Amino acid sequence: MINSQEQSARERILLVEDDPQLFTALAEFLLGQEFAVRRTADGREALAALQEEEFHLVLLDLALPGLSGLELLSWIKTNSPRTEVILFTGQEPLGGADQALRLGAYDCLPKSRMTLDQMQAVVARALERRRVELSNLDLIANLRRAQEELALHRSQDLIQVRRIGEALAVPLTWEQLIQGLVNLLWESLPFKILGLRFRGPGKGVSREAYRRQPGLKEDVVAGFKANLKRLFQLAAAGAPHTSEEPLPDQSLSQILWGKAQTGECLALVAGGRDTPFSPEEAELFQIFILQGEAALRNLELLEEIRKLAIRDGLTGLYNYRHFWELLVHEIMMSRRYQVPLSMLFLDLDNFKIINDTLGHLQGDLVLKTLAAYLQSGVRQADVACRYGGEEFVVLLPETGLEQAIRLAKRLRHHISRMAIPLPGRDLHITASIGAAVLTPHMDGEALVAAADAAMYRAKQAGGNQVCGPEPGPAQEEPGGAAGDGAP
């Protein structure tokens, strides 16, 4: 039995659902997960509950008696914006779910395809996002308190520090964070030259940024950049250092520098001039570095949350949920711009035998190896996803059926020749692949069903084959599988 003090410390969930069977199943499941659950089947009762106490998460149906799910969602986001909301959809048109997401819902789950495992995962991610947001708010609040303490001693410095906190606390891209930190430092302290070098997970991110005074000699600029690069390499290698150490072979007589490091991210900042820096300037510089590090940590956490929300944990490919979001988008683009859209549905042959004879760890290795190949074996514009178990799908924008079948043959050919290293021997696998193309009468589910049916025909024909939308295996190019070519 859980006492009231323990109950109040648990995360509180309001469940609003008028379907008695689903209501009971979800309530029992959430209570089994040790959440504090309050239940109601009516929209007006739910509103009264929300006005009485704060909830961490609200689960509600779009269609409710009393007040609709959208009306409740709008009230929650206006009056309790830190409360996460997950909605259930029945047979309502997609417009209701789209409007819910625009109003701030974390997710909309279709009742027809929802499982308890899926519910558990979405609830966990929604609550984790709330915790991260609250942690970020606490961090911002702490920074502001630190800024107010500095105001007792240096009012001008406080203005600059506040600018840093406000600029770096908002959601940023990697590019905005790098350039923003350099610009803030440049505007706050009198440097002749300022530079930042960065290493992190962001794709396409500029790895360095500089500001310089007009007229600074090019040999001084080149020397400064070379020294910053050398120091960055030392820091990346884990060499200990402090901001009082001089840059090697420094080309300016006075240098301030420091590093911000968290997880995969490392940023090293240095600024130089010919006159000495005061202790107050050096301290302000270090405040910039510390807040830059906090901003790096926040952005890295947000990137990880985004990745967890859309990526399959084992293979790293897009997951089932995100696949359906991408499919809706690609169908819309296909019809808007009158370009073809094809899909491949791929299933490993005899995968149960691999799991039963070699074990699930080796089965996982097979899935990860296949996923890595699919990622590299398709075009950059194509999208590979894990559909579930040993099933994978590949969306092929601007691709007709004939081109899709050629790609499927190439993938099948290379998969059948992959050697997966296991203890004592190499394992060879095969896959059956179905191909389908979007037609005017199809929706997303119909396209998936067509590709799945084609894959099933390939299975029925003996496996290790490619089938299109018509019964029977797709014909190989002259010369058989060897003529498929490299991806």
Please identify every residue annotated as catalytic. 390
Using CB atoms within 10 A of its CB, is residue 41 exposed (0-12), middle (13-18) or buried (19+)?
A: middle
Among candidates 201, 185, 181, 204, which has minimal Cα distance to 193?
Answer: 185
End-to-end CA distance of the chain: 60
Of the CA atoms within 13 Å of residue 243, those in its CB half-sphere come to 22
Rounded CA gap, 31 and 44, in Å? 23
Residues 35, 36, 40, 43: is their CA dihedral positive or negative? negative
Who's near 378: CB < 8 A, 6+ residues apart? 384, 394, 396, 407, 411, 487
Tell me the longest C-alpha to C-alpha distance in the chain.
Answer: 83
Token representation of residue 264: 């995969």
Among the listed residues 286, 276, 300, 55, the one whose alpha carbon sits nearest the alpha carbon of residue 172: 300
The full DSSP string for 158-214 is: HHHHHHHHHHHHS---HHHHHHHHHHHHHHHS--SEEEEEEE-S-TT--SEEEEE-T
Gap between the Cα atoms of 472 and 92, Å rounded: 38
Tokens of 66: 């009393």
Q: Which residues pair with 208 in a beta bridge?
A: 197
Contact assessment for residue 66 and residue 44, using Cβ atoms and an 8 Å cutoff: yes
Question: Residues 6 or more apart from 7 whose CB is under 8 A from it?
Answer: 36
